[in-house]
Structure 1
Amino acid sequence: MTNIENVDPAETWNGLQKDNTAVLVDVRTRAEWGFVGIPDLSQLNRQPFLIEWKEYPMMNTNEAFASELLEKLDGAAPSKIYFLCRSGARSMAAANLMSEIFATQGQATQCINVAEGFEGDLDSDGHRGNMNGWKARGLDWRQS
């Protein structure tokens, strides 16, 4: 396993803003994108890559994840890739996989986990989206 850096959503936004080659990959499911929303990077003249890590509804690991991401990158390995899921677990797994693949290919792409994810941690009432995460931090997002 490689050492993946964890950053919060605000640091992710700042990193994307400072580095126009950096990419955000949202690894949640189609259902999450549709019902919960997606990050809106239009201020940065970009869109997040939407690639399921676990395929809805069976939640099996998407065996084609790496090839789908590499295809979207179209041979241009960015300096940094930020991986985002609901709360930071699936995105960490995706970041680890891609970091290993890039290292094997001799590419210096830094894979970074968005630790709080899109919805953040559960609050005392068992709800997400209130304590932390992309939405709770007031970053741009939209319904897809």
Structure 2
Amino acid sequence: MNISQDEWWSKLQEDGDAVILDVRTADEWGRGIIPGAINIDIYKGQGFIYSLEELDKSKNYYVYCAAGARSGQACNIMGQLGFATTYNLIGGMNNWDGPVVLPEE
């Protein structure tokens, strides 16, 4: 489901089963992330699928990329793999005005 930044962030704050998923490249990830995110690069192809398969499909996934296109694709793929709930951040990091931190090494 594509949702606005405000809705995405407010849902995330109230969600005890939330997982924040960043599907950008390692280079993009290194420039700053939404706090608490995990990174699985959608450009890894089959490796992306394998990594998704290791996640708990019963959790709620808050997915983002740079602009919203890759995360939209990721949400579609996740739906096909049996993930019940995914939220795509419209506009991605390019339009994000919430908190940003550098990932820990």
Is TM > 0.5 for Structure 1 vs Structure 2? yes
Query: % of aligned pairs identical?
Result: 33
Question: Residues 30 and 99 from structure 1, CA distance in 2 versus in 1: closer, same or farther, beyond 3 angstroms?
Answer: same
For 1:111, what is the secondary structure of its paired residue? strand
2:89 matched to which residue of 1? 114
Deviation at 1:76, TM superposition (A): 5.5
Give distance in 2, aligned partners of 1:69 and 1:49.
11
1:87 alignment partner, SS class: coil
Aligned to 1:127: none
Unaligned runs of 5+ in 1: 41-46, 56-61, 120-132
Q: CA RMSD in A?
A: 1.6
Question: What is the correspondence of 1:95-114 to structure 2 with a 5 Å cutoff?
Answer: 95-102=75-82, 109-114=84-89
> Where do 5+ consecutive residues of structure 2 fail to align?
none
Shift of 1:14: 0.9
Aligned match of 1:65: 48
Deviation at 1:88, TM superposition (A): 0.4
- AA at the equivalent of 1:142: V
Name the SS for the 2:20 alignment partner: strand
* Match status 1:38 vs 2:33: yes
Q: Counterpart of 1:10 in structure 2: which amino acid?
A: D
Find 1:84's aligned residue among 52, 55, 64: 64
In structure 2, C-alpha distance between the alignment counterparts of 1:66 and 1:18, rounded to whole Å: 28
- What is the aligned length? 103
